Structure 1
Amino acid sequence: MSTTYHHERTEDAASGSADPRGPEGPTTSGAAGRARGKDGPPRSRRRNLPPLTPKLIIGLVLAGGTILFGVLGPFLVQNPSTIDNIGMTAPGEGHLLGTTQTGQDVFAQLAHATRGSLLVGLIVGVLTLLLSAFFGVVGAYVGGWLDESFSWFTNVMLVIPGLPLVIIISSYMPEKNILLVAVVLALTSWAGAARVLRGYTLSVRSRDYVLAARVAGEHRWRILTVEILPNLVPLLATQTIMGVIFAILGEAGLSFLGLGATDSFTWGTMLYYAQNGLALRLDAWWWFVPPGLMIAVFGAAMVMINFSIDEIINPKLRTQTRQTRKHWKLERPDATGPVTKEDPR
């Protein structure tokens, strides 16, 4: 019996097959191992998900709170144009953020101004996305004379200074509303995003899966919408966020110069009215600090979200962020002092 067992082990060793049990007992492999193991595809799928970094969480919370305030706030406050005889009243019980020189409630103006500025950012972001995608993606994918024409037009719009053009267009409009200001800002801000999208589309359209789809006889527009556009979604999101930031800052700058939407409340018009009302000279900080703070907070939130999207797009940034977090964990002090790596010797 023992001789037979020894003979079988010798033949297995000679044929190069290994004992599946190994030194630590039996192991699982194949479908059973993937089903029961904890280190299988579920972990790899979790690693492929977007990293939930602290700056992404902070950015989403700040941006979400600002959007919620802009959507619901105007329904909970009084008419921001109501004039009262208690001008320049400091923040108190009757007025959460005080009043203006003519007795208007600053908190009510801030709620309506938040909605107006966010509306400008939304319109400009959508128009910038559509224009940049059309002139950048479609032209680069079709190629030929269409790509050359779109590229020439994009370069012309790119070299035209945006702010002076916006000032000239706005100065010739007698009545300016939010929609007009947003369209003017969108027409002067899409060229840079279109240039970036064109370069990336030229790189994507020469990849193997796109060439395979062409060889398979798929329709040109189906290849563009199914094979190319999904790879451009993170970049399109980044360009849209930058367009929103540019729109809010551009509108605030135009309104501060008196060229913004005169029939609506925005963060920029609040700063303009505060300047004309000598709020800084009269130490009425509650009139100009809230809109300026809202611009800074929302801009910082969008920038943090943009940085998080960059980490999702670029695997090198994602790996660097993960290594930085591990480094912080290793050097985090505890009750016994900082954690240090053990000496391998």
Structure 2
Amino acid sequence: MTAVPAVPAEPRPNRDTGRREGLYFAMRNGKLLAGLVVLVPLLVLAVAAPVIAGGDPNAYVSTPASPPSAEHWFGTTMFGQDIFAQFVHGLSVTFQVGALGGGLAAVIGMAIGFTAGYRGGLVDEVLNMLTNIVLVLPALAVLLIVNAYLGVRSVGVQALFIGLTSWPWAARAIRAQTFSLRSRDFVDLARLSGVRTWKIIAREIAPNMSSYLFMTFILLFGGSVLIAASLDFIGLGPSEGVSLGLMLNNAARWSALHLGMWWWFVPPGAGITAIVGALYVMNVGLDEVFNPKLREL
């Protein structure tokens, strides 16, 4: 009696081959490289801020309202503070808020999105209802109210509130992707083998969404930077230290534009624009790298 050959199961994606292929196209993607060229130097400045600009960015170091010179590259403020030192330290705070706020929002979004998408049923309905409630809340208005009445405002607290209000769209997107993966053969095989739910999500589903998750984090990072800059600009940022948004706030408060002190508000504005713009361009480039239909050979 001739045995009937078994139907081959759906092959598990070859992750090593996918990584090598992704790296090949990443090194040839102009948008991704352009974003990195802008973002990496700013990140290096932010990391090396204490070495490059000293310890206190608000120290009074020179003649007030001095234009850019060899001694003070970005000039000085109305009070004689070095704007370059404030800019470098402000970059550091901006990246911290982006990483903490975007990272927290990504973690919450992944936890809710993976759980809702994989479990389905009542769990999905409850988590989806929670997501919709947070999604319709006016996040910026909530942040304004909380920051206005909060006694102590710091970078960590600011990032915490940004992260707690920025995750809903990420959760919904991850939930949709999880729905499409949970019915794959390799996921069914792991489920039939008695593997726990969180292990299936961590070992089978999440790795096959790694590129999508990374792009989601980039967007959350950029959104956190913009929200933090908005809060800082209207005076509801950290109580101590300096940030790019707070630099814009001080420049507007002391009429830098009317006094012709362009060197006070242009660097922080350009810094915020460069960071968010570079992240957006990188995200478009990564979409072209990870999506075979968009790749340029």
- TM-score, with structure 2 as normaliser: 0.88
Answer yes or no: is 1:276 the counterpart of 2:276: no
5 Å matches for 1:305-316? 305-316=282-293
* 1:258 maps to 2:235: yes
| Cα distance in 2 between the residues matched to 1:231 and 1:47 | 15
Distance (Å, rounded) in 2 between the aligned partners of 1:233 and 1:45: 10
Residue 296 of structure 1 and its aligned partner are, at CA, apart by: 1.2
- In structure 2, the partner of 1:127 is 104
Q: Which residue of 1 aligns with 2:50?
A: 74
The share of aligned pairs that are identical, in percent, is 36
- Of the candidates 137, 140, 147, which is equivalent to residue 163 of structure 1? 140
CA contact (8 A) 1:84 1:102 kept: no
In the superposition, the TM-score normalised over structure 1's length comes to 0.77
Do the aligned partners of residues 47 and 112 (structure 1) sit closer, same or farther apart at CA in structure 2, a change above 3 Å counting?
A: closer
Q: Partner of 1:298 in structure 2?
A: 275
TM-fit CA distance, 1:131: 0.3
CA distance in 1: counterparts of 2:75 and 2:212, whole angstroms? 43
Is the CA contact (8 Å cut-off) linking 1:74 and 1:108 kept in structure 2?
no
The alpha carbon displacement at 1:47 in A equals: 4.7
Residue 314 of structure 1: CA displacement?
1.9
Equivalence map 1:40-189=2 (5 Å):
47=21, 49-51=23-25, 52=27, 53-78=29-54, 79-84=56-61, 86-189=63-166
Give distance in 1, aligned partners of 2:58 and 2:19.
54
Change (3 A) 1:76 1:92: same
* Partner deviation per Cα, 1:149-189 (whole Å, 9 max, x = no partner): 11110111011111111111111113211111111111111
Aligned residue pairs, count: 278
Structure 2 distance, partners of 1:113, 1:45, is 35
* 1:248 alignment partner in structure 2: 225
Counterpart AA for 2:248 = L
Query: Which stretches in structure 2 are left out of the alignment for 5+ residues?
Result: 1-16
Partner-residue secondary structure (3-state), 2:48 = helix
CA shift in 2, pair 1:178/1:84, >3 Å:
same
Measured in 1, the distance between the counterparts of 2:144 and 2:31 equals 35
Higher relative contact order (CA 8 A, sep 6+): 2
Q: CA deviation at 1:48?
A: 5.6
Q: Write out aligned runs for 1:18-33 (5 A).
A: none
Look at both structures and tell me which one has the larger radius of gyration over its CA atoms.
1
Is the alpha carbon distance of 1:237 and 1:46 closer, same or farther for their aligned partners in structure 2, counting shifts above 3 Å? closer
**Residues 305 and 88 of structure 1: is their aligned pair in 2 closer, same or farther, counting only changes over 3 Å?**
same
Instruction: Report the CA distance shift for 1:148/1:45 in structure 2 as closer, same or farther (over 3 A).
Output: closer
CA contact (8 A) 2:22 2:289 kept: no
Deviation string 1:113-144 (CA, Å, 9 cap, x unpaired) is 01011100010121011100111112221233
Cα distance in 2 for partners of 1:311, 1:128 equals 24
Query: Distance in 2 between the 1:132 and 1:59 partners?
Result: 25
Q: Report deviation, 1:147.
A: 1.9
The residue type equivalent to 1:186 in the other structure is G
Q: Does 1:209 align with 2:186?
A: yes
Aligned partners of 2:62 and 2:76 also within 8 Å: no
Aligned-pair Cα RMSD in Å: 1.8
Alignment match of 1:223 (pick from 200, 204, 208): 200
Q: Deviations over 1:179-206 (max 9, x none)?
A: 1111111111101100110111011101
| Aligned-pair CA distance for 1:84 | 4.4
Whole-angstrom CA distance in 1 between matches of 2:114 and 2:151: 36
SS across alignment from 1:261: coil
AA aligned opposite 1:55: K
Secondary structure of the corresponding residue to residue 96 of structure 2:
helix
TM superposition shift of 1:88? 0.1
Q: Match for 1:77: what amino acid?
A: A
Question: Any unmatched runs of 5+ in structure 1?
Answer: 1-42, 323-345
Q: For residue 4 of structure 2, what is the aligned residue in structure 1?
A: none
Q: CA deviation at 1:44?
A: 10
